[in-house]
Chain A
Amino acid sequence: MASNEDILLKEVTGAEYKYGFTTNIKSDKAPLGLSEDIIRFISAKKNEPEWLLEYRLESYKIWLKMDEPEWAHVKYPKPDFQDIYYYSAPQPKKKLDSLDEVDPELLEMYKKLGISIDEQKRLTGVAVDIVMDSVSVATTFKKKLGELGIIFCSFSEAVQEHPELVRKYLGTVVPKGDNFYAALNSAVFTDGSFAYIPKGVRCPMELSTYFRINEAQTGQFERTLVVADQGSYVSYLEGCTAPSRDENQLHAAVVELIALDDAEIKYSTVQNWYPGNAEGVGGVFNFVTKRGLCQTNSKISWTQVETGSAVTWKYPSCILKGDNSIGEFYSVAVTNNYQQADTGTKMIHIGKNTKSTIISKGISAGQSQNSYRGLVKINKSAKNARNFSQCDSLLMSDRCGAHTFPYIEVGNSTAKVEHEATTSKIGEDQIFYCLQRGISEEKAISLIVNGYCKDVLNKLPMEFAVEAQKLLAISLEGSVG
């Protein structure tokens, strides 16, 4: 008789990627490869001002001198950067003012994903800025936001409409030469989202972006910039799914958050890029740089549910520059089959009385490798800084790996830093208990895993939490019966 564990394993590895389909939309591509000419092509295509082209070219020069990082606990074939298309845009039929004008095929795709924009608009009051490949094709609720002075648009649009804001803040949190992938992104980013919340304004709805990679061999280089001016508040949702592909796809995004004095930014992500098939073939390489800067009395909270990608390399971080500022990081990372994730956060305490909280929940299944890597750094100037970190790992099989790399650097003796870590294996006794009560194995795993992640899921906005729970279930679901 097969042991419970083997059945579990099979089940967990048996789940096919549900969103593995592609849609047929004509694309407008740059020639293959990367060079100064390609960067000029992208910049011209997007009708960018001279300073932005210069920014890109400088970044490119820095990038050329950098080496791909090797320190992460992941293994993958190094991408051939000359074998990537750096620009591809779905062909818009005309300028879009409303959803009715969006490509029906696109809308159909979103329906398949269960994220019908119509429904979202009606039911949840979420303004959705869809990024399909590299160009935004629909922006909703813009008017309503406009009345409050809130800017929420695609990055390219912001470059055209609000160049002064973009120029003022771009690269201030993640500099051009920050790291290999950030430098690459700074050279070739095609689009992304931009949000600006004016002084004292509380954004009345969750700002939401759905990302999707569609064109085979199209690297996607998103650039996101969120600026919360003094005393403002915004909750920003980012979620993504990608279709099934055999070639590895590179995704190297940069997200910069700026919380000015007394401002608060809540940034939530559900990441579900294609993880590769059960044999570990294909899947997205997700090398993301996310960082926020906190000024006095401000707060930045990162919440992420990471279930996708073949390789994830991602550390949403907070620079707690201002006194009394607060940084939070809540993360659930699921790896299955041959997925590899090296994720965590950096909390850099500079201001006095700064506080940070880190809750990380890793779930490893199949033969995957799941690492938490975090840095808590208390600078000399950070009097009375506080940090609490909790890193838990849940193992679903005996062939997967969970690793924790916590780094703590304390430069001020008044600091209080706490770190807790646990590793546990999903209990056969828990599953049997559920089965005895009539709960199927699939549902039991979903219940147990969701229970384990509750502290993080609770931090997500309501409608996103429901979606994230479904995603966790899908990621670990099998073909029972």
Chain B
Amino acid sequence: MLSVKNLHASVDGKEILKGLTLEVKPGEVHAIMGPNGSGKSTLAAVLAGNEDFEVTEGSVTFLGKDLLEMNPDERSHAGVFLAFQYPVEIPGVSNINFLKAAINERREAHGQDPISAKEFLQMVKERSKLVELDNKLTGRSVNEGFSGGEKKRNEIFQMAMLEPKLGILDETDSGLDIDALRIVANGVNKLRAADRSFVVVTHYQRLLDYIIPDFVHVLFDGRIVKTGGKELALKLEEQGYDWIKQENVPA
């Protein structure tokens, strides 16, 4: 599904990703962990097509297509979804209108007719339940005046509405209390499917208690330096990242 090879990316001339390689197959959940500044969020941003980051080397193939050649909105239409670490507020634009615009642009890109009001509202009703999102929030302006937890739930709700092939969660657990974390994780779990993959970027292990990953990767200094199963996350929780750093001191 997603094949990242030797990816180098920089921001303002400073190289952050230094040869990252990652292979994600359909239905898999990959956790990306690592200390602050290792490049986790940069990876998420580059995959989504944020132009603040410049790809200097390497390739990314998504469902057989060159992802790096596509604009951010084309990537979205192809099935890439990024749950933002800091969801953006858009005053005066209701969540509902925003999602309807998003769904209809995607449908148009795929040569489909706009969604009917009835079908759309039905979908909103069903999918907002996945993350226990209050109906009132769907009518409010996008993320405006939402609490931290509501914003993150809204991200997962949007993901549920847009039905991506690849969901990238950028530190979705940050700033969540334990109840909100459980709700968000449950929402993601319900969206797991044989043809849908996830890349879960997180600093802490606790999210992985709820979203059980197939693989855990440790990102350090712009590269994946260790890959394992869920137990690797537990080891990191116990021992911190120091041993990784020591193992990877430049010779």
Contact = CB atoms under 8 A, between A and B. Distances in A.
Interface string B76-116: 11000110100111111100011101100110010000000
A258 interface: no
B92 A438 contact: no
Contacts of A440: 73, 105
Contact of A447 (B49, B82, B87, B97): B97
A447 B73 contact: no
A438 B73 contact: yes
Interface string A426-451: 01011011111111110100011011
B141 interface: yes
A1 interface: yes
Nearest to B107: A438
B51 interface: yes
A441 B88 contact: no
Most buried by B among A435, A437, A455: A437
B162 A437 contact: yes
Contacts of A441: 73
Contacts of B99: 437
B93 A450 contact: yes
Interface in B121-175: 141, 158, 162
B72 interface: yes
Interface string A389-432: 00000000000000000000000000000000000000101101
B82 A436 contact: yes
Nearest to A441: B73
Contact of B50 (A432, A451, A455): A432
A452 B73 contact: no
Contacts of B51: 1, 3-4, 432
Given A437-B76, A438-B109, A452 B92 contact: yes
Interface in A308-363: none
- Looking at chain A's contact residues, is the secondary structure mostly helix, strand, loop, or mixed? helix
A477 to B, nearest CB: 15
Interface residues of B, number: 32
A142 interface: no
A392 to B, nearest CB: 10
A46 interface: no
Contacts of B158: 437
A453 B87 contact: no
A447 B98 contact: yes
B71 A451 contact: no
A454 interface: yes
A438 B106 contact: yes
Nearest to B102: A437
Contacts of A3: 51
Contacts of B162: 437-438
Contacts of A434: 90, 98, 102
A438 B88 contact: no
Contacts of B75: 436
Contacts of A432: 50-51, 72, 88
B48 interface: yes
Contact of B49 (A435, A443, A450, A453): A435
Nearest to B50: A432
A433 B84 contact: yes
A42 B237 CA distance: 89
A433 B90 contact: yes
B92 A451 contact: yes
B73 to A, nearest CB: 5
A450 B158 CA distance: 21
Contacts of B72: 432, 435-436
A406 to B, nearest CB: 22
A450 B97 CA distance: 12
Given A436-B49, A448-B93, 16 more contacts: A427-B88, A433-B84, A435-B49, A435-B73, A436-B48, A436-B73, A436-B81, A436-B84, A437-B98, A439-B102, A439-B105, A447-B90, A447-B97, A447-B98, A450-B93, A453-B92
Interface of B: 48-51, 54, 71-73, 75-77, 81-82, 84, 87-93, 97-99, 101-102, 105-106, 109, 141, 158, 162
In order of increasing CB-CB distance, the 8 nearest A-B pairs are A451-B92, A438-B76, A451-B93, A454-B92, A435-B72, A433-B88, A437-B102, A438-B106
Interface of A: 1, 3-4, 427, 429-430, 432-441, 443, 447-448, 450-455
